[in-house]
Amino acid sequence: MKLRHQKSSKFINTLGGAAITFVTALPTYAATPPTAEQMWEIIQAQQKEIAALKAQQQTTEQKVEATGQAVEQTVQAVEEAALQTASTPSWAERTKVGGYGELHYNNLETESGEDINEIDFHRFVLFFGHEFNDRIRFFSELEIEHSGVEPGEINGAVELEQAYIDFDINDSLTARGGLFLVPVGIINETHEPPTFYGVERNIVETRIIPSTWWEGGAALNGRFGSGFSYDLALTSGLATPTDGDDAYVIRDGRQFVSEAVANDPAYTGRIKYTGIPGLELAATLNYQADLTQGLGPTGTSSDGLLFETHAIWQRGPFGLRALYAQWSLDGEAPEALGREEQVGWYVEPSYKINSKFGLFARYSSVDRAAGSNAPADTELTEFDAGLNYYPHEDVVLKFDYVTQDGGEGDGFDPVDGFNLGIGYQF
């Protein structure tokens, strides 16, 4: 517009100048009036100048219009580039980091008279995840237990508990491959400190279900109906000892997917219902043709079937968790030790006073030698009660009192005392 205004002003000025020239010339011809030929020459000269000025103005207008179009195209290209950048997240935006940790203080006395006064940074865990696109994701969990590893000095471990890729086949079916947690129980998959009561994890989901329990392999997760889901997994399996005090003890059979013997894989299937807010119902079967992976002497192999079921119910401030788990082993060797049946269960009511405080009580029972030939007094029972304080929803301070009874026939030394803990997740 500014250029057009300038050129229009120039055109007017030129016309004015031509008029002045014409008027100025009039006195010259006033004495001797111009002839018709002279008048025609003057008019022709003025017409040429006017035509040239019009052509120049038209060219200028075309340039201004072309410049405007170029500016508009540039603005549009910049906007499209910005929109494309916003819709395609950067590498950092598609990569997530998280974790959790917990510090424990145990002040306990065993039935045999041993005092246990320990402080232990039990777990330090980091999560790393990445979204390759809308349908392919990676997730991992790296853990340091008991502050580190130093042979002969630190009772720690560095463990890779998860490292898998999820593939969304469609909106209701996901395939998984890699190293992942077995879909069983309540805390095996969800065990961050703010998500459960008590400083230590419950004895059923550590000694019957060997949490934390992970394997390597492939799995499918499907959703159907209103709130139903299922999991199917084919993975590496356990390799339980076949002699000594730990013979056929399930927890001691974990191989941690560390050059794990894979003579006999494990098959896991779970069905879960979460269609009612605050309610979770689930049941899991895990089967392995030989829990020993064929590593023991002839006649010591044993197939194993785990059945687990649980319920979680949260109604306002009231909560309830209940779980039952049982291993059934087939074979003469585990039967001779009374370990063909291994059973555990617990009931845990809780009450949230407000968003900061929660109270709980839990009664648990574990019997790793519940078979017919078991020695006497192999059942270990435990009562816990305590308080969780949440200064933030992802930070928790814990206190609980614990007392145990029995289990001496299976090598347990019952304890009595209290625990303190602090934990976090992010």
Q: What is the pLDDT of residue 92?
A: 84
* Mean pLDDT for the chain overall: 89
Q: What is the pLDDT of residue 63?
A: 64
Q: What is the mean pLDDT of residues 141-160?
A: 88
User: Phi and psi at residue 296, in whole multiples of 5°?
Assistant: -85, 175
Q: What is the mean pLDDT of residues 221-241?
A: 98
Which of 17-31, 285-299, 330-344, 377-391 is the least confident region? 17-31
Q: What is the mean pLDDT of residues 317-341?
A: 97
- The helix, strand and coil proportions of the chain, stated in percent and rounded to the nearest 5, come to 25, 45, 30
Cβ(50)–Cβ(96) below 8 Å: no
CA dist list (Å): 9 to 3, 14, 52, 57, 314 = 10, 9, 15, 10, 82
**Tokens in use for 399?**
């206190």
Instruction: Give me the percent of the chain exceeding a pLDDT of 70.
Output: 84
Query: How far is 421 from 328, CA to CA, in rounded Å?
Result: 35
User: Phi and psi at residue 54, in whole multiples of 5°?
Assistant: -65, -40
Q: What is the mean pLDDT of residues 377-399?
A: 98
pLDDT, tens only, 233-290: 999 999 999 999 999 999 999 999 999 999 999 999 999 999 999 999 999 999 999 9
CA dist list (Å): 235 to 141, 142, 173, 195, 257 = 18, 20, 19, 27, 10
Contacts of 124 (CB under 8 A, 6+ apart): 99, 101, 143, 144, 147
Q: Is the per-residue pLDDT at 20 higher than 80?
A: no
Q: What is the mean pLDDT of residues 393-410?
A: 97
Which of 57-61, 214-218, 309-313 is the least confident region? 57-61
Query: How far is 199 from 104, CA to CA, in rounded Å?
Result: 7
Q: Is the per-residue pLDDT at 393 higher than 70?
A: yes
- pLDDT band at residue 162, thresholds of 50, 70 and 90? very high
Instruction: Give me the percent of the chain exceeding a pLDDT of 90.
Output: 75
Which of 42-51, 156-165, 407-416 is the least confident region? 42-51
pLDDT, tens only, 69-128: 766 776 676 666 666 655 556 888 899 999 999 999 999 999 999 999 999 999 999 999
Query: How far is 216 from 83, CA to CA, in rounded Å?
Result: 41
DSSP helix/strand/coil, 277: coil
- pLDDT band at residue 21, thresholds of 50, 70 and 90? very low
With b meaning 16 or more CB within 10 Å and e meaning fewer, what string describes 189-218? bebbbbebbbbbbbbbbbbbbbbbbbbbbe
User: Phi and psi at residue 38, in whole multiples of 5°?
Assistant: -65, -45
